[in-house]
Amino acid sequence: RRRVHLQQGADFYASLRTSAALEKAEVAVVVLDVTESISVQDLNIIDLVLESGRALVLAFNKWDRLNDTDMDNADRRRYLEREIEQDLAHVTWAPRVNLSARTGRHLDKLVPALETALKSWDQRIPTGKFNAFLAELVAEHPHPLRGGKQPRILFGTQASTRPPTFVLFTTGFLDPGYRRFIQRRLRELFGFEGTPIVTNMRVREKRQR
C-alpha cells in the first residue's frame, strides 16, 4: 500500500477522513459497488479498518443490478466472485451483506451483521478454555522445527477485547504462518465473525546458570 503522504488529492483526504471516522467507530461498514471492480482505494480503506482494530462488515451495494438478464451483468457476477476470492481473502471472516440501497433489498440484514461483528469484537474466552484449546491444537499440529529447535507454547491468555487480543508465552518465536493457523482454528471453534484477532508473543528467555 502506498504511504499516505505519497497519495495524491482525493485519495489523501479520503484516508484522513476514514482514519478520523474510525477513531470514533466501533464497527466499520465498507460499502463496495458490485458494478465496479474492487479498487486499490477499497482495499486501502479495508487496510485502515484492520490497522485500527475495529469490527468489520462488508456491504456489497447495487446487487440488484447483477440479477438482470443482461449477459454483461452475468459476466460481472462471475468476475466479482473471483475478485472477492483473490482480493478479500484476508477478510473472509467479515460478514457479507448483498444489498441494494436503491430498492432496499436486504437492508434489514445489515443490522444483524453489525450486531454479530460487535458481539465478536467484545468476545472473551476464559483462560482455562483457551489453554485447553492450545493444548489440543499443539498436540495435533506441533510447530515445525526451526534450526533444529521446536518453539513450544507454554500457555496463553486473552489480554483484552475490542479487538480480541491473545498473548502466547513461548520458548521461541512462532512462525507467522503458525500464528495465522492458530487464528483460523480460533475462528473455527469460537466464531469471532466480523472482528480481527490479534496474537502477540512473549518469548521466555532461558535463565542463565
Whether 149 has a pLDDT exceeding 80, the answer reads: yes
Whether 71 has a pLDDT exceeding 70, the answer reads: no
pLDDT recorded at residue 147: 78
Contact of 61 with 32, CB cutoff 8 Å: yes
Distance CA 117, CA 122 (A): 9
β partners of residue 11: none
Whether 146 has a pLDDT exceeding 90, the answer reads: no
Residues of the chain with pLDDT > 90, as a percent, come to: 69
pLDDT recorded at residue 50: 95
The tens digit of pLDDT for each residue in 17-69 reads 778 888 889 999 999 999 899 999 899 999 999 999 999 999 999 998 887 65
- Identify the burial level of 55 via C-beta atoms within 10 angstroms of its C-beta, where 0-12 means exposed, 13-18 middle and 19 or more buried: buried
pLDDT recorded at residue 4: 46
pLDDT recorded at residue 18: 78
Average pLDDT (152-181) is 96
pLDDT recorded at residue 10: 59
Q: C-alpha grid cell for residue 102? A: 436503491
Average pLDDT (143-165) is 93
pLDDT recorded at residue 2: 42
Distance CA 117, CA 180 (A): 20
Q: Which residues contact 171 (CB under 8 A, 6 or more apart)?
A: 151, 152, 154, 203, 204
Cα torsion through 48, 53, 57, 59, rounded to 10: -10
Q: Place 12 in a pLDDT band, splitting at 50, 70 and 90.
A: low
pLDDT recorded at residue 64: 87
pLDDT recorded at residue 30: 95
pLDDT recorded at residue 183: 96
pLDDT recorded at residue 148: 82
DSSP symbols for 166-207: EEEEESSPPPHHHHHHHHHHHHHHH--TTS--EEEEEEPPPP
